[in-house]
A and B are shown apart, each in its own frame.
Chain A
Amino acid sequence: MTKLVRLRPVRLWLSPLLVAAVLMLVSPVWPQADGGTTATGAPSGNEEVRDTEWPTYGGDLRARRYSPLDQIDRSNVGRLEIAWRWRANNFGPWPEIRSSTTPLMVGGVLYTTAGATRSVVAIDAATGETLWMYRLYEGERGSQAPRPNSGRGVSYWSDGNDDERIFLVTPGFHLVAIAAASGVPVDEFGEEGVVDLMIGTRGGVPPIGTIGSSSPPLVVGDLVIVGPAMRLGMRPPALSNTKGDVRAFDARTGELRWVFHTIPEAGEYGYETWLDDSIETAGNVAVWAPMSADVENGLLYLPVEAATNDYYGGHRPGDNLFSSSLVCLDVATGKRVWHYQLIHHDIWDYDPPTAPILVDLPADGRRGTRQRQLVAQLTKQGWAYVFDRLTGEPVWPIEQRPVPTSDVPGEHTAPMQPFVSRPPPFERQGFAESDLIDFTPELRAAALEVAARYRLGPLFTPPSLADAADGTRGTLSLPGALGGANWEAGAVDPDTGYLYVGSSTSPSVLSLTTDPENSEHRYVAEGGGGAPRVLGWPLVRPPWGRITAIDLKTGDLMWQQPNGWAPAALEARAAQAGFELGRTGKPTRAGVLATKTLLFAGEGWGGAPIFRAHDKQTGEVLAEINLPASQTGLPMTYRLDGRQFVVMSVGGGDHPAEIVALALPESPGAPI
């Protein structure tokens, strides 16, 4: 085991507010983050307190990204101003630009991650003052980490009394329990507060550099559930790769409680879906996206990613369970309850990229039915897959239909793929000549010339060779491997059943080549990156990014709004050519947050530094608020001392990551 040098966290002085908050938390406070009861059946505690906080990554364990707060509404949202800023410049060995973190807020304190070595920071939620920081030094193991970034955040656990912990999974794959009040590791957890997650991993290669994490663990009751994030799978060097098992640990002691083999072992369900002993070498099939849980029913929902390698499945014939599947487990035991494979034998890198969103549809008097308990999985491929979350039964039919067959030597394309009949896709699917940019005859001609070098086709057209016999050099895929929707997920309004999702219309090139010097795989991706541009323009016509509202009661798309104006450089280019672009949306993925009163959305990584409030029913933009940089982490909200805050990480270009808090102006004469 790598010798770890642990630095003591820097303890900064405690503000009176923090002391007050800690004292407050000694009194009974809601210890879990979901409605109803805990996994062990204990009462859930004080709902009023919970509604003002943001105790888990997704707002609650159902990943709804919804808050019932209503102080900020359409009458005053235009007056939002920056209440405080917290800068992350000096966390990590370089100033991180893109921080995807979403802070938690519990008891008046924000808990968040910062910098490429993923420090944990506690911040006074009212003022932005730093209260403490913690960092685990991981040496070589950290510098080889597959996801050297601040990740998406941390998790909170409490015993319902005064034992409150923050859980972190580091880039180098350690699980750390930190005392929420002090930032000091909890001695009785693991070894001096740390569990080495590389111990017990499966696979034919050393775990260092191949396995890590990008999302917070999920705390359900007294379990801390960890899904890994693997080395990028486009061009893996070795045939054998580390497997992406999901594990649950005891929140008090760090003991392993259960393991779910996302790639089954002999005798386990799904083992037979890997032919020719491919199950021995297969890797990935991890859960890098956040998870969700239904505490009342004791169910855990896993968005399980694709297998290695991303675009060539010749070394893994078969459907490859549980790759690219939504899997429901019994949270107490880790046993499978049901699963649905969204894509058989995935060769598009269409990992389900978001926490499955759990929502109960409002009771509908006309039908006289009980509430329906649903799970919705948003995907890169532009569908929301909606199931009864207890049974796994699709709410609307999902039909197996024949799809194109690969001509890549050794590939064994799945003959059929599931097609969602409802809701309609929220993104364009498949790539046809009609998708090409066509603003001017010159642009159209140039786009056709580029497209002629590739294969086009409907959704599920397989990757092809960079030197194919027909002279093409790959397949244009839409949505691309980065979505559609991605980790930014969506938000759902439990009052209306409206599901909101930001998505991007950006194609990928799926092009396979040999690289025997660097990889044991017969074929690997020629490279990452999007589709080629055309004379400086995107290859596809707009809209390039959008926000969609889906009514989960009916499966209808209720509205779509462009994700902002056209990129500034393209506006300028259009102006030169004598036309205007207007609201084409940016090819970025909006981060959304729903409250009782409004839908909030930033433009996402690479977008403009503008935060918008939308009418939830129509999508109409009610206000635009300038940010110091683009929204990059997902926005969250809370109320403290009577004031509602909306907080998110921003960054981009020259602007290192920072956390920005928006609030209404304090009334004159209010105490400081």
Chain B
Amino acid sequence: MPLPDPAPSPGGIVGAVVVLAAAIALVALPGLEVRAAPQELDELRSVRDGVFSEEQAERGRRTFVKECEECHQLDQFTDPFFIRSWSGDTLDALFDQIRTAMPENSPGKLSPPLYADLVAYLLTLSGFPAGEGEITPDNGLEMIRIEDPAKSESH
């Protein structure tokens, strides 16, 4: 039987998946997947808040030229829909996406700080202002919210 297309439902489990869940319950499971807790929206900062420095964005530009330009034209990221497609997410999602997927022929090739620099560069391409701080891998990226620069500030 083809896979049913899940739709959001109170139980979250549909069709044949109910059978599956029952089956899972019958066997001893060493562990189930850990799911992240929702963010507390009040504590979030924004990419508008000067979360990276000019120096960091410049380092990111140099890394982009060296590592990314073979496959990516800048238009892809100056297009306002690029950052808009990430709006509502937090910076860790963008960072993780780039680090785990790029470069395509050897993902994870760069050191985490270089990936953070690339994130800073992408933010400048979307028009976000530099500030005093730097984007640091594994340090509060999940507390920085990505916003659509075309829309008025909203928290």
Contacts and interface: CB of A to CB of B under 8 A. Distances in A.
Interface of A: 78-79, 94-98, 116, 146-149, 232, 234-235, 424, 439, 450, 453, 466, 473, 513, 515, 518, 525-529, 532-536, 541-543, 546, 557, 559-562, 564-565, 568-569, 571-576, 579-585, 605-606, 608, 610, 620-626, 651-654
Given A149-B105, A542-B6, A572-B39, A579 B12 contact: yes
Contact of B28 (A78, A234, A568): A78
Interface of B: 1-3, 5-14, 16-17, 19-20, 23-24, 27-39, 69-73, 75-76, 79, 81-82, 85-89, 93, 96, 99-101, 104-112, 138, 146
B125 to A, nearest CB: 13
22 contacts: A96-B108, A98-B107, A98-B108, A232-B104, A234-B71, A453-B81, A518-B69, A525-B71, A526-B75, A527-B71, A527-B73, A529-B72, A535-B87, A560-B3, A564-B33, A569-B36, A573-B38, A574-B8, A583-B20, A623-B29, A652-B100, A654-B138
A136 B18 CA distance: 52
A623 B85 contact: no
A533 B83 CA distance: 9
A622 B3 contact: no
A582 B100 contact: no
Contacts of B146: 536
B23 A620 contact: yes
A143 to B, nearest CB: 12
B20 A582 contact: no
A566 B59 CA distance: 35
Interface SS of B by simple majority = loop
B11 to A, nearest CB: 7
Contacts of B75: 466, 513, 526-527
Contacts of B14: 582
A97 B9 contact: no
Contact of B86 (A528, A533, A568, A652): A533
A95 B24 CA distance: 36
Contacts of A439: 7-8
Contacts of B3: 543, 546, 560-562, 585
B35 A568 contact: yes
A546 B1 CA distance: 13
A532 B85 contact: yes
B6 to A, nearest CB: 5
Contacts of B96: 653
Contact of B36 (A116, A527, A568): A568
A637 to B, nearest CB: 19
A653 B106 CA distance: 13
Contacts of B72: 527-529
B104 A528 contact: yes
Closest 8 CB pairs of A and B: A580-B12, A97-B108, A582-B12, A560-B3, A536-B89, A579-B8, A532-B85, A527-B72
Contacts of B100: 97, 605-606, 652-653
A557 B16 CA distance: 15
Contact of A146 (B7, B35, B105, B138): B105
Contacts of B34: 568
A513 B76 CA distance: 11
B81 A626 contact: no
Contacts of A622: 23, 27
A584 B3 CA distance: 10
